[in-house]
Amino acid sequence: MHYDVVIIGAGMSGLAAGIRLAYFDKRVAILEKHYAFGGLNSYYRLGARDFDVGLHAVTNYVGPQQRNAPLNKLFRQLRLDREEFDLHPQNYSEVRFPGATLRFSNDIALLTEEVARAFPGEVDNFRRLIHDIEHYDDTRLDVPYLSTRSVLRDYFREPMLIEMLLCPVMFYGSAEERDMDWTAFVILFRSIFLEGFARPREGVRPIIRALVKKFRSCGGKIRMSCGVQHLEVRDGRVGGVVLESGESITADTVFSSAGYEETMRLCELRDSPEPSFSPSPQPSPLEGEGGMARLSFVETIGILDTAPAALGHEATIVFYNDADAFTYETPREPVDLRSGILCCPNNYAGHDSLPEGVVRLTWLASYDHWVGLDGEAYGAAKRAYHPSFIEQASRFLPGMADHLVFTDMFTPRTIWQYTGHLKGAVYGSPRKRRDGRTPLSNLFVCGTDQGYLGIVGAMLSGITMANMHVLGRQ
């Protein structure tokens, strides 16, 4: 079977790339090794309940009048009606550090007022930062790396303000430990603070349904439970895509949303399968430069018999840190309890109709620890963190334990199993390839390792790579 384009992965970027290409009469096939769409932003069913895997918020939320904003740009490019996503804005969110709290909403004026209250000597510098970010061109693909911490130190004298701005931005998109690239910071700052958070009432499912329906209506083909065994390399090109079933498919162009390093590994024909778990993956000989992906998370989801607001908690998302400095790195211990994210989906506008209360608590975690446990020890380790979930969540929702009716937890091991991302790395490799190119002339990456961030960013990544490398549009 031959296609114009084969896309590896039915996540947000793969589906968006497929839609864009199919619109222009390209024969496109998406290959997904699992049974569920969405990749890092999927969902699962357990105990008669649906759970989102990655969705705390759809960032980049704006109204329809902001025509050139990323969200509205993708609606135009994919010819989707924004009503299909059923997005509802947040109430407000918070960044909490010892002795300081900054509230923010989808209106930057609130955060500016909060900075003026908590750090009165920095508010003019904060306004200058906003102005410079608004006028920064983050669409360039050739910008060299620049340390965000060094840039922010040129704006602010208060170290804690720098840490408080970095906390939500790094938690929601940085693949780099301790620091991040300035262009990535600008993209995420815009998406979180200058635009904002929203969520569909049903979680990620309406977004996935809209993308899959649109792709199929354009004539695209999706093959689920269809893993790729390897890519056949001939004369500097991908000559064929060999499936785990042994079937071979050819295509003029191959897009991969599996991650750069993961894709390069597919270019090596192995004599025997890899073990189920690989705690210390080695770089591919084709990697050449850039660090390995490392950062992963655990998340516990709690179901309550009441809404969080009934317990006095109305914030949508809380980013908290228990020290003056924010430590963002792979922890030595299984889970880093010093900082985390508390998300309450009920606290979006119009979500009071949700049948149960939901609390999601996310921490940085060690992949090497979780992947090294056998089945019984793995289950015991998950149960061991249940008291920590109760303790930390109860800081924000007093009495929560009395209303908890169900919990589930996923770990870096879960992420690795269901996405194939090495080290269970949610944000992929620290080194992004913004032009999507690989050493092979007809193989391109989209999604996490291309560099556009968040759910909206992932879709724009697929669109941009399709436009640039197949449709001839920048």
Condensed to tens digits (0 to 9), the pLDDT of residues 161-173 reads: 999 999 999 999 9
Residue-range definition of the domain harbouring residue 337: 294-418
Q: Are strands 335-343 and 357-365 parallel, antiparallel or unpaired?
A: antiparallel
Whole-angstrom distance between the N-terminal and C-terminal Cα of the chain?
30
Which stretches of 53-152 are assigned E, i.e. beta strand?
87-89, 93-97, 100-104
Tell me what pLDDT residue 6 has: 98
The three-state secondary structure class of 471 is: helix
Band (41; pLDDT cuts 50, 70, 90): confident
pLDDT at 418 over 90: no
Taking phi first (over 0 means left), then psi (-120 to 50 degrees means alpha), and beta for anything else, what does residue 160 get? alpha
Band (422; pLDDT cuts 50, 70, 90): confident
Tell me what pLDDT residue 281 has: 36
Band (293; pLDDT cuts 50, 70, 90): low
For residues 423-430, average pLDDT: 90
Same domain, 162 and 225: no
Same domain, 300 and 436: no
| 137-152: pLDDT as tens digits | 988 777 888 999 999 9
- Does the residue 198 lie in any domain? no
Q: Which residue has the higher pLDDT, 282 or 238?
A: 238
Q: Identify the domain boundary among 192, 211, 238.
A: 192
Return the CATH number at 49.
3.50.50.60
Return the CATH number at 167.
1.10.405
Q: Residue 287's Cα: distance from chain center in Å?
A: 23
- Does the residue 424 lie in any domain? no
Same domain, 306 and 403: yes
- Does the residue 411 lie in any domain? yes
Q: Which two tokens stand for residue 246?
A: 């042994």
**Separation of alpha carbons 152 and 159, rounded Å:** 9
Same domain, 272 and 386: no
Domain total of the chain:
3
Same domain, 141 and 208: no
Q: Identify the domain boundary among 135, 166, 192.
A: 192
Same domain, 152 and 183: yes
How many C-beta atoms surround the C-beta of residue 34 within 10 A?
18
pLDDT at 40 over 90: no
- Does the residue 388 lie in any domain? yes
pLDDT at 272 over 70: no
The three-state secondary structure class of 383 is: helix
| 319-350: pLDDT as tens digits | 999 999 999 999 999 999 999 999 999 999 98
Tell me what pLDDT residue 95 has: 98
Same domain, 215 and 251: yes
For residues 25-44, average pLDDT: 90
Whether 100 and 110 have beta carbons less than 8 Å apart is answered as: no
pLDDT at 183 over 70: yes
| 107-120: pLDDT as tens digits | 999 999 999 999 99
Same domain, 104 and 153: yes
| 299-311: pLDDT as tens digits | 999 999 999 999 9
Tell me what pLDDT residue 54 has: 72
pLDDT at 98 over 70: yes
AA letter at 211: L
Band (270; pLDDT cuts 50, 70, 90): very low
For residues 271-291, average pLDDT: 37
Q: Which residues pair with 69 in a beta bridge?
A: none
Same domain, 299 and 413: yes
Spatial CA neighbour of 260 closest among 228, 238, 231, 293: 293
Q: Identify the domain boundary among 192, 218, 234.
A: 192
- Does the residue 321 lie in any domain? yes
Q: Are strands 2-8 and 248-256 parallel, antiparallel or unpaired?
A: parallel
pLDDT at 278 over 60: no
Cβ-count burial of 395 within 10 angstroms (0-12 exposed, 13-18 middle, 19+ buried)?
middle
Tell me what pLDDT residue 36 has: 86
**Separation of alpha carbons 142 and 448, rounded Å:** 18
Same domain, 81 and 207: yes
pLDDT at 292 over 50: yes
- Does the residue 169 lie in any domain? yes
Whether 261 and 431 have beta carbons less than 8 Å apart is answered as: no
Ranking 65-74, 124-133, 289-298 by mean pLDDT, the lowest is: 289-298
pLDDT at 208 over 60: yes
Ranking 23-37, 195-209, 246-260, 271-285 by mean pLDDT, the lowest is: 271-285
Same domain, 224 and 256: yes
pLDDT at 20 over 90: yes
- Does the residue 425 lie in any domain? no
pLDDT mean across residues, the chain: 91
Tell me what pLDDT residue 354 has: 86
Tell me what pLDDT residue 256 has: 97
Tell me what pLDDT residue 473 has: 64
Q: Residue 154: enclosing H or E segment and its boundaries?
A: helix 148-155
Same domain, 307 and 410: yes
- Does the residue 197 lie in any domain? no
**Separation of alpha carbons 176 and 192, rounded Å:** 18
